[in-house]
Amino acid sequence: MNGLDSVPASSRQAAARTPAPLFGRQQWAIALFVVGAGMLLQLLPLLVLERREQSLIPRIVFWVLELPTLIAALTLVYRWALLRRLTTLTTVLMSVTIAVALGSALSALTLFLVTAIQGPGSVLTPSGRPASYLGVTLFGGIFGLFHCGLWALAFVYPAAVEDRRLRAAEADKLRLEAEALRTTAELSRLRSQLEPHFLLNTLNAIAGLVTQDPREARRLLACLGELLGDTLQADGDTQTFGREVAWLKGYASILESRFTGSLRFEWDVATNVQQVLLPRLLLQPILENAVTHGALKRGGPGLVRLSASRQMRDGSPVLVCTVEDDGPGFDPAVTREGGIGLPAARRRLALWSADASFDIRSTGDGTRVVIELPWKA
Amino acid sequence: MSVNPAAHPPARFRTLVVEDEWPARNYLVELLEASHLAEVVGAVSTIEEARQVLTDPAGELRVDVAFVDVRIVGSGDEAGLELVRSMAQGPSAPMFVLATAYRQHAVEAFELGVVDYLLKPFTEERVQKCLERLVERRPTPAPERPARIVARQGKKLVFLDPGEVWAFEASDRLTSVHTVHGQFALDLSLAAIEASIGRGFLRVHRSWLVSSSYIRELERDGSETRLFVGTGLGPEQPGIFVPVARERAQAVRELLLANSTGVRRG
């Protein structure tokens, strides 16, 4: 019935969205390619330029030990950092530390293993001397750092790009959705202002009055024409209180005529509030509510009274507007009785200004809605 | 052997109008009367009054058809439907016609056995068609019955014999009926009354409709003319004074004299 209450589920989920996965199918391909290329780049100079096969064995042992361990460890840390929402700097520092530590430890392990299998002196430095544990650890740390860079390039960078793309798409979707919502709200508001049944019933009343009371029929036609013209022509979401009240008076006058003998309106609008701005036809559903759930439920002549004045709250001026009826009242907590008009009006008011207030008091003697909104002129 | 319907016009349907909006109520009454197929015996604005009229144990109104607005604002969005639902199965239930601006109740209405479904705004043709449909539904005319009309006194409904009515008075959208039993309220405009239950009454003033058989005195005081309407002559007798509009005074006087003998015209 109204577009306001149905917020699409996707926009609610947006806040809890997950980042792009590190291990999508495409990501794996990129990662394999980058890691493979990195290793080839390291191996090529050894094979082509130096031709020292025996230094190849410890290096391959080191890579077999270090690369999978490091990539797994860094990925886990990255995941954990995302979940904990750690800052970029913390994440980078942690990754680098872990890479250096793992590289050092595993290169030491490699030296130990190769020495144990092939005998002492089987691992040589590039200058041909047997490698020391200190040198190998240093070498391992540097390689750890290098592999960390490789990992970032292979896994994190594609994921980050993908994430950015998804985010942009999502933002676009949200923006479109918000626009659609605004349009729907606008349309449903226009529709509710002059809903078809109001129109049909008013036309029926005029058809009857044509013979019974031609002057009244002509007057209602003029009123209806003004309401329609205003609804069809007016643009924007804002209008002056003076125009708002003029519209409401035409609307009320039609209802008064249709419910002759059962409904009466009273207006008490201060002269200095004519120029203040408020959301267009904010008061219409409130007035309608006072009629259908208030004055006409009385079982006798009912009264709806609208008053408005400029008042001061904490040193700044506000518009105070009251709509009251003398009906049997209702429980504002039960939305069925309040209809959809009141919650929608309350929401519009809240969107209009955070300092605005909306208060409903309903007793057995009537209902009173008081609205306060900051002075905008 | 065929029966010429014109030779034996069927008895008019005795109808009750249940409608909460003043102009709509008068409009429907006017259209029903204009069809010459129905006469309005009551027009009420709430479901409670409608229920009271339809369940009146004496059954004095003998309503044939009730035209019910679906949405009676004071009673609920589907108050008319609920009335039909609760009354349609009754032993002396009238036929029901729903009248509304809302299309969505049509299916349920027909399930409840409603005879027709009138959409607002009404038109003369559509109401006529509706009544013709009702005639088809009830081929044998009901026996002639004493006609009574319904009026209101506060929250109480009263049933009046049209022959007891002295006059109808309109004052600022409130219409009252004056009788020997007192003054009661009617939820119809004077124009609608003149077209329905006040047929044959004399419009002596913009806001007065008078039964000529109860006019007892015609009094001229300078340019003002007034009537005494009631059951007897003299100040002690029950009755009311009714003003006569200046432009109608001559016509009223002539009409009264034309139907009487004794006084020389002039």
User: By a Cβ cutoff of 8 Å, what residues of chain A touch chain B?
Assistant: 196-197, 200-201, 203-209, 211-213, 216, 257-262, 291-292, 296-299
Residues in chain A closer than 8 A to B28 (CB atoms): 208
Amino acid A2: pLDDT: 39
Q: What is the pLDDT of residue A21?
A: 58
- On average, the pLDDT of chain A sits at 81
Contact A208 B45 (CB under 8 A): no
Percent of chain A with pLDDT over 90: 28
* Enclosing H/E stretch for B171: strand B165-171
Nearest to A204 among B102, B120, B192 (CB): B120
Q: Are strands B95-100 and A316-325 parallel, antiparallel or unpaired?
A: unpaired
pLDDT at A147 over 90: no
Residue B162 three-state SS: helix
Q: pLDDT tens-digit profile of B28-37?
A: 999 999 998 9
Instruction: Using a pLDDT cut of 70, give the percent of chain B over it.
Output: 89
**B121 contact residues in A (CB cutoff 8 A):** 200, 203-204, 206-207
Q: What angle do CA B177, B179, B183 make, to 5 degrees?
A: 50
Q: What DSSP character marks residue A259?
A: T
For residue B88, pLDDT over 90 is answered with no
- Among the partner residues B22, B46, B189, nearest to A259 by beta-carbon distance: B22
- Do the beta carbons of residue B238 and residue B180 sit within 8 Å? yes
Q: Tell me the shortest Cα–Cα distance from B26 to chain A, in angstroms.
A: 7
Q: Which of B22, B119, B187 sits opposite A258 (nearest CB)?
A: B22
Put simply, the answer to whether A212 touches B30 (Cβ < 8 Å) is: yes
**Least CB-CB distance to B102: which of A197, A209, A216?**
A197
Please answer yes or no on whether B23 and A258 come within 8 Å at the CB atom.
Answer: yes
pLDDT at A16 over 60: no
Closest residue in A to B124 (Cα) is: A207
Collect all residues from B whose CB is shorter than 8 A from any CB in A. 20-28, 30, 45-46, 73-74, 101-102, 119-123, 173-174, 187, 189, 191-192
Task: Identify the closest residue of chain B to A198 by CA–CA distance.
Answer: B101
By Cβ distance, the residue of A196, A211, A296 closest to B73 is: A296
Chain A contact probe: residue of B21, B46, B118, B189 with most A CBs at under 10 A: B21
pLDDT computed for residue A24 by the predictor: 65
Among A334-338, B154-158, B195-199, the range scoring the smallest mean pLDDT is A334-338
What is d(CA A299, CA B135) in angstroms, rounded to the nearest whole number?
35
B217 to chain A nearest CA, in Å? 30
Whether the ω angle into residue B121 lies within 30 degrees of 0, i.e. cis, is yes
The neighbouring-strand residues paired with B249 are none
Q: Name the residue with tokens 């208060």.
A: A359
B28-B30-B33-B37 Cα dihedral, nearest 10 degrees: -40
Of A201, A211, A297, Cβ closest to residue B30 = A211
pLDDT tens per residue, range B137-186 = 875 555 555 567 888 888 888 888 888 899 999 987 789 999 988 999 98
Whole-model pTM? 0.62
CB B86 within 8 A of CB B104: no
pLDDT of residue A345: 82
> Are A211 and B191 within 8 A, CB to CB?
yes
Q: Which two tokens stand for residue B5?
A: 């319907």
How far is the C-alpha of B115 from the C-alpha of B111, rounded, in Å? 10
Contacts with B189 from chain A: Cβ below 8 Å? 212-213
Three-class secondary structure of residue A309 per DSSP:
strand
* Both tokens assigned to B83: 């009335």
